[in-house]
Amino acid sequence: MVLMDPEASCSACRATFDEWAALELVARIESTEVERLIRGWSANLCIEVRACRWCGKGITRKCEWVSP
Binding site for Zn ion (CB under 5 A): 10, 12-13, 15, 52, 54-55, 57
| Distance of closest approach, residue 52 Cβ to Zn ion, in angstroms | 3
Nearest Cα residue to 48 out of 56, 60, 58? 60
| Distance of closest approach, residue 7 Cβ to Zn ion, in angstroms | 14
Task: Give the nearer residue to Zn ion in terms of CB position, either 15 or 26.
Answer: 15
Nearest Cα residue to 20 out of 54, 49, 43, 44? 49
The number of residues in the chain equals 68
Maximum distance among all Cα pairs of the chain, rounded to whole angstroms: 34
| Distance of closest approach, residue 42 Cβ to Zn ion, in angstroms | 27
Task: Give the nearer residue to Zn ion in terms of CB position, either 12 or 43.
Answer: 12
